A and B are shown apart, each in its own frame.
Chain A
Amino acid sequence: MKHSSPFARIMSIPGMPMTVVLIVSVIVFQLLNPVFLDGRTVGNYLTNGIPILLLTLGVSIVIIGGGIDLSVGTVAGLSAGTTMFALVNGAPLAVGIAVGCGTGLLFGLVNGILVAYLRINDFIVTLATLNIAAGLLVVLSQVQPLQGVTVPGFSELTKGSVFGIPTSFFIAGVVFVIAHLLLAKTIVGRRLYATGISAPASNVAGVSVPHLRLFTFAASGLLAGIAGVLFASRLGAVQAFLGIGYEFIAIAGAVVGGITLAGGGGSVWAALVGGLFLATLQQGLRINNVDPVYFSIVTAVAIVFGVVFERQVRRVILRAALNRTALSTNDRGRSADQHMNERQPAERVAAVTAPEGSKNDAK
């Protein structure tokens, strides 16, 4: 294929169109109110947004693998609750964090086992675990008020800093980098995308689809657990209804960023950009004194708008740009093929064995 224009190539990267929108919206909000990019404000709203970003990432991983996870919001809420519960009852910091992360991971594993091995529809399974987690948090908060933790260092998780970077930024950064490398650069990531594109075809090609399904839900659960710990640290108290509704913000962020609900498309970058866009939008509205009752309406409109924008950019601009230079319509592909058909098939097959290089690599 001849190379298409650099613009088209850049914009064809999943999440790129939304990145442009994100940058434009930041500029607009800054022009409307210069307080917007003030260091403290930015730090604040990002710190608040980070747990949701982690949920967005978790949901995105599941969606890329061809599934859906509705339970992330309430599982994060419950994880916040269990962390608090452990700390209130005198557990050391590390144990408290482990309990929170473990709660999330446990829910992820349950989701994954039910979906992957018992083959129950993921929408149903995670709708059930959403409610189980929500219910358990209510029960837990009635056992004991989930507040008043004095364990040293706990609130530092969100309010302190590491190497001059706010701690939660640092945690989120590490998580996102690991997730990016995993999805974009490893065997697991490739199999994940393949499964999302077509589970039956991947299965025929030798990919262990159930293992991957389990992995995606476990990862999503663990991320919800981490988000829960950060919630607890930032809020200092966990209410009975924490986390309800967050799954929709997370899914919306993923979709706005350019992660296709059908599976197999998108990236960690897309999840990050989509999540950041929603957070930025809310912050922009807040700073410009828009009544918070309008937030959900504006956010909803932005979601639809964002999805349409992402798709249209990818469809219209890209196709036009690519078509000019490369084979992308069927007819053109066929013609190219036909030309080659004319050649004598002499060089067709010399010997049909695995190439030497590949054999060596295998050993």
Chain B
Amino acid sequence: MTYPAKPTSTRSLMLEVRDVTKHYEGVTALDHAGLSLGAGEIHALLGGNGAGKSTLISILSGVTKPDSGEIVLGGEMISVSGPLAAMSAGISTIYQELSLVPALSVLDNIYLGRELKRKTLGLPLTLDRRRMEADVRDLAADFGVTSSELRQPVSEFGALKKRSIEIIKALAFDTKVLILDEPTSGLEEAERRVLFSHMRSMRDRGVSLIWVTHHLEELFGLADKATVFKDGRTVGTVDIASTSVGDLIGLMFGAAQEEFGGGDTRKITHLEPSHKRRVVLSARNLSRGSAIRDVCLEVHEGEIVGLAGLAGAGRTEVVRLLMGLDARTAGTVELDGRRLSLRNSTAAYRAGIAMLPEDRKQLGILADLSTAQNISISRLSTVASAGFWMSRRKERALAEDYRRQLGIKTPNVEARIGNLSGGNQQKAIVARCLNTSPKLLIFDEPTQGIDVSAKVEVHALVRDYAANGGAAILIASEIEELLELSHRVLVMKKGQVVGEVRDIPAAIEAGDFSRIKSEVLTLSAAGQIS
């Protein structure tokens, strides 16, 4: 594949990775992979799970040693023998899981392990905080951290500030190449924009960025180039200015995939007007202290109701009330016309409400149990005799059924679920929910942290569930995802429902995607962020 050379490609080379190969116990993670990074360039690194991105990053940051290959930084061949060697060579990495020490101040975090010291009694024993602060003050201010914030513990800050602190930490020392692993995860729309402006200002300082992301639409207008990995090999490098999401997906997965971004509605089912359909869930005046106030919510059969809002708007809190995970202080919940008391989650499942929770690793999977055991756990009676005696055979058969139906990719349903990829774990959790034959299924951030192709599959599961007459509530921070899947969106703010957008499939079909998107965004951010 050839791509027209753009002026950007004339930038001098900062980093070149040549012919890097890495085997793990017989499996080839990287196969003569390469990457060329210009000076002051934002370079996206793309690929599905298992494409080799993580391996390349861990090689560049000194965590893993390659079997063969060369790394050339600024014209010199370097050997990255360990994390410290990488940093002193000028390669820093900001991992998806933040690596700041919460209890230490911002300043101490920035200088952790590289502290400036002052001599006391002739020995360098005391930290010279004044000098450290003087050295980074201007830099910190550029990335939105004031000098008084430098002295506060990191634990007091949100996700965006923490990323900024990591950026300052990298730039405080001579960093030529900064690797960002999914830097926008956990950030809201407005926060993302701030992060992107930080990335631009780093580029302006001449730092080269390697940016790993699953969110392809974020690349446009920001990244200069993208290199696509597949099966440990470099598929190609493209100029972002001359490509599209579809092209990139084609490179990543070989075949044209289902829609991604842009508001395609091919799969969504159109619904009859709501008064003709049965109401499945009717929640009135749900309240929990002052956190959730008077939330009213109806879900009809076959309908996907999206909850939109910023972080902290109370979306997850509302569904936790519906699941009986938190106690409500007021309000009623009716399912199929029957009043529910919802004393705990067991009661919710028994009544016919199931939930796929946010934060798959902490709240979703039971990592040490097998895939089969994870699927059966919410309704063990389906795999037991006489109501209490577990049948391993039935459990296995149930899991095999779902494995086929939902396309869960695992060689063995009785192997530990913790070893599966994120997308397959998520499908197993969907299976767990379906096994309880729910009347209402709640999806809370169903595609968090899973790769693009798994995402498309999970989207299909959500749609198919509704198409078969199920009622669903969906929470998704990614507004495009929310709109593409929902029939109707309720917008929440500060624990209340502040607006509703109806007939979304029809609106999207009429080409109004960006109008309803801005409508939802305006509602959820009104008076908060421009």
Measured in the bound complex, the distance between the Cα atoms of B14 and A243 in whole Å is: 71
B345 at the binding interface (Cβ < 8 Å) = yes
**Residues of chain B lying within 8 A (CB to CB) of residue A355:** 398, 401-402, 405
Beta-carbon contacts of B407-427 to A below 8 Å, as 1s and 0s?
Answer: 101011001000111011000
B48 A187 Cβ-Cβ under 8 A: no
**Residues of chain A lying within 8 A (CB to CB) of residue B387:** 187
B464: contacting residue among A190, A207, A265, A351, CB under 8 A: A351
A312 at the binding interface (Cβ < 8 Å) = no
Residue among B362, B366, B401, B420 with max Cβ neighbours from chain A (10 Å): B366
Beta-carbon contacts of A129-149 to B below 8 Å, as 1s and 0s?
Answer: 000000000000000000000
Nearest CB in chain A to that of B398: its residue? A358
B419 A185 Cβ-Cβ under 8 A: no
A331: contacting residue among B27, B346, B382, B465, CB under 8 A: B27
A338 B51 Cβ-Cβ under 8 A: yes
Q: With A1-B411, A203-B325, A333-B421 in contact, do A354 and B434 touch (Cβ < 8 Å)? A: yes
**Residues of chain B lying within 8 A (CB to CB) of residue A207:** 345-346, 377
A164 at the binding interface (Cβ < 8 Å) = no
Q: With A323-B25, A332-B24, A345-B457 in contact, do A204 and B325 touch (Cβ < 8 Å)? A: yes
A349 B406 Cβ-Cβ under 8 A: yes
Measured in the bound complex, the distance between the Cα atoms of B28 and A189 in whole Å is: 41
| In the complex, chain B residues 1-52 whose Cβ is within 8 Å of any chain A Cβ | 24-25, 27-29, 48-51
A291 at the binding interface (Cβ < 8 Å) = no
**Residues of chain A lying within 8 A (CB to CB) of residue B170:** none
Interface size class of A (residues with CB under 8 A): 35 or more
A362 B381 Cβ-Cβ under 8 A: yes
**Residues of chain A lying within 8 A (CB to CB) of residue B27:** 331-332, 335
B460 A349 Cβ-Cβ under 8 A: yes
A235 at the binding interface (Cβ < 8 Å) = no
A336 B435 Cβ-Cβ under 8 A: no
Among the stretches A48-56, A193-201, A215-223, A281-289, the one at the interface with B is: A193-201
Q: With A194-B366, A337-B50, A338-B48 in contact, do A344 and B377 touch (Cβ < 8 Å)? A: no
| In the complex, chain B residues 428-471 whose Cβ is within 8 Å of any chain A Cβ | 432, 434-437, 453-454, 456-457, 460-461, 464-465, 468
Instruction: Give chain A nearest CB distance to B404 CB in angstroms.
Output: 8
B348 A206 Cβ-Cβ under 8 A: yes
Instruction: Give chain A nearest CB distance to B282 CB in angstroms.
Output: 22
Instruction: Give chain B nearest CB distance to A119 CB in angstroms.
Output: 13
A338: contacting residue among B49, B402, B412, CB under 8 A: B49
Q: With A333-B419, A337-B50, A342-B254 in contact, do A186 and B389 touch (Cβ < 8 Å)? A: yes
Instruction: Give chain A nearest CB distance to B287 CB in angstroms.
Output: 22
| In the complex, chain B residues 348-374 whose Cβ is within 8 Å of any chain A Cβ | 348-350, 354-355, 357, 362-369, 373
A197 B367 Cβ-Cβ under 8 A: yes
Point out residues on B near A: beta carbons under 8 Å: 24-25, 27-29, 48-51, 54-55, 230-232, 253-255, 258, 323, 325, 344-346, 348-350, 354-355, 357, 362-369, 373, 376-384, 387-390, 394, 397-398, 401-402, 405-407, 409, 411-412, 415, 419-421, 423-424, 432, 434-437, 453-454, 456-457, 460-461, 464-465, 468
The 6 sampled A-B contact pairs (Cβ below 8 Å) are: A1-B415, A2-B411, A189-B390, A345-B457, A352-B405, A361-B394
